[in-house]
Amino acid sequence: MTTRHSQPEDSVRQDTDPSLSQPAPLCDDERLVLPFAKRAFIQYSTSPDGSKTQHLFYDDKEIEFDEEDLFPFAEALATQSHFIAGDAKHWGPGYSWRTVQPLLDSLLDAGVLRRAQEYGEPEPRGRHVGTTNPFLAPATAEIAGDWNNCPLLTKTLAARELPLAWLELVIPVFRVIHIALDSENRQVGEANVFPPALRLDRPIEWRICNYPGSRYRDERPMNATALRSMGAQWPQMMALLPWVRDAFLHRYPSLRRGWTLGGIEALATMVLALPTYLMMRVDDRISNGDLHPALSSLFRVTDGVRMVTHQMIFVPVGEPTLPVSTPMTSRGVYEYAERNFSFSSAHGVCAGPQSMIEDLLQVLIDGRASPEAEGVTLLPELETARAAIESAMDYGLLGLQAHAAIFSVWPVMTGCYARLANIVSLSADGAADGLRERLAQHADVLRRETHHANAAMRAERLAAYVQIHDFCAEGMRGEPPTPSLAEAAVPDSAALDSASRHIIETGVRKILQGESQPVIDCLIETFLTLHGFVRVASAIQMRINRILGRQQSALPFDLTLIDIHNRLQAGGSARLPFLLDEIRDWFGIAVTITPEKIEALAAEK
- pLDDT above 90 (res 271): yes
Report which secondary-structure segment, H or E, holds 540.
helix 517-548
Q: Are residues 531 and 592 in the same domain?
A: yes
Decide the pairing of beta strands 61-65 and 82-84: unpaired
Mean pLDDT, rounded, for 160-185: 97
What is residue 605's predicted lDDT score, i.e. its pLDDT?
Answer: 65
What is residue 579's predicted lDDT score, i.e. its pLDDT?
Answer: 95
Q: Is 82 left (phi over 0), alpha (psi -120 to 50) or beta?
A: beta
**CA dihedral over 468, 471, 475, 476, signed as positive or negative:** positive
Q: Which residue has the higher pLDDT, 576 or 504?
A: 576
- pLDDT above 50 (res 55): yes
What's the one-letter identity of residue 399? G
137 lies in some domain: no
Q: Which residue has the higher pLDDT, 70 or 434?
A: 70
Residue 574's pLDDT band (cuts 50, 70, 90)? confident
257 lies in some domain: yes
What is residue 329's predicted lDDT score, i.e. its pLDDT?
Answer: 98
- 3 DSSP β-pair partners: 63
The Cα–Cα gap between 370 and 139 comes to: 36
- pLDDT above 60 (res 13): no
Cβ contact 489:529 at 8 Å:
yes
Residue 482, SS3 per DSSP: coil
Find, among 336, 331, 334, 372, the residue nearest to 242 by Cα: 372
Residue 16's pLDDT band (cuts 50, 70, 90)? very low
Q: Are residues 176 and 94 in the same domain?
A: no
188 lies in some domain: yes
Q: Are residues 382 and 421 in the same domain?
A: no
What is residue 416's predicted lDDT score, i.e. its pLDDT?
Answer: 95
Q: Are residues 379 and 448 in the same domain?
A: no
Domain end among 119, 139, 161: 119
- Which DSSP string do the residues of 183-199 spell out, in sequence order? TTS-BTTGGG-SSGGG-
- pLDDT above 90 (res 544): yes
- pLDDT above 70 (res 419): yes
pLDDT tens, 505-538? Answer: 888 888 888 788 899 999 999 999 999 999 999 9
Cβ contact 414:460 at 8 Å:
no
- Cα 145 versus chain centre, distance: 23
Residue 493's pLDDT band (cuts 50, 70, 90)? low
What is residue 8's predicted lDDT score, i.e. its pLDDT?
Answer: 37
What is residue 436's predicted lDDT score, i.e. its pLDDT?
Answer: 87
Q: Tell me which DSSP letter residue 54 carries.
A: E
Q: Cα 571–575–576 angle (5° rounding)?
A: 150
Q: Are residues 50 and 106 in the same domain?
A: yes
Q: Are residues 551 and 488 in the same domain?
A: yes
What's the one-letter identity of residue 552? Q
Domain end among 100, 119, 138: 119
What is residue 121's predicted lDDT score, i.e. its pLDDT?
Answer: 63
Determine what percent of the chain is predicted with pLDDT higher than 90: 77
Q: Are residues 356 and 251 in the same domain?
A: yes
Mean pLDDT, rounded, for 483-495: 73
Residue 431, SS3 per DSSP: helix
Decide the pairing of beta strands 41-46 and 52-58: antiparallel
What is residue 516's predicted lDDT score, i.e. its pLDDT?
Answer: 85
pLDDT tens, 206-265? Answer: 999 999 999 999 999 999 999 999 999 999 999 999 999 999 999 999 999 999 999 999
Quote the radius of gyration of the chain (alpha carbons, Å).
27
What is residue 572's predicted lDDT score, i.e. its pLDDT?
Answer: 62
Residue 115's pLDDT band (cuts 50, 70, 90)? very high
Q: Tell me which DSSP letter residue 281 carries.
A: -
Average pLDDT, the chain: 91
Domain count, the chain: 3
Q: Are residues 366 and 421 in the same domain?
A: no
Residue 95, CA distances (Å) to 73, 87, 89, 100, 543 in order: 9, 10, 5, 7, 67
Mean pLDDT, rounded, for 279-303: 98
What is residue 551's predicted lDDT score, i.e. its pLDDT?
Answer: 97
The Cα–Cα gap between 446 and 417 comes to: 9
Q: Are residues 162 and 226 in the same domain?
A: yes
Determine what percent of the chain is predicted with pLDDT higher than 70: 93
Q: Which of 105-119, 158-172, 459-473 has the lowest mean pLDDT?
A: 105-119
Residue 14's pLDDT band (cuts 50, 70, 90)? very low
What is residue 509's predicted lDDT score, i.e. its pLDDT?
Answer: 86
Mean pLDDT, rounded, for 293-311: 98
- pLDDT above 50 (res 568): yes
466 lies in some domain: yes
- pLDDT above 70 (res 382): yes
224 lies in some domain: yes
- pLDDT above 90 (res 98): yes
Find, among 452, 446, 412, the residue nearest to 574 by Cα: 446
Q: Which domain holds residue 238?
A: 147-387
Q: Are residues 223 and 340 in the same domain?
A: yes
557 lies in some domain: yes
Q: Tell me which DSSP letter residue 363 carries.
A: I
- pLDDT above 80 (res 556): yes
Entry pTM: 0.92
Find, among 364, 358, 386, the residue nearest to 294 by Cα: 386
269 lies in some domain: yes
128 lies in some domain: no
- Cα 550 versus chain centre, distance: 29
Torsions phi, psi of 21, nearest 5? Answer: -60, 135
Q: Are residues 446 and 352 in the same domain?
A: no
Q: Are residues 100 and 165 in the same domain?
A: no
Mean pLDDT, rounded, for 377-395: 98
Residue 424's pLDDT band (cuts 50, 70, 90)? confident
pLDDT tens, 31-53? Answer: 999 999 999 999 999 998 999 99
Q: Which residue has the higher pLDDT, 30 or 504?
A: 30
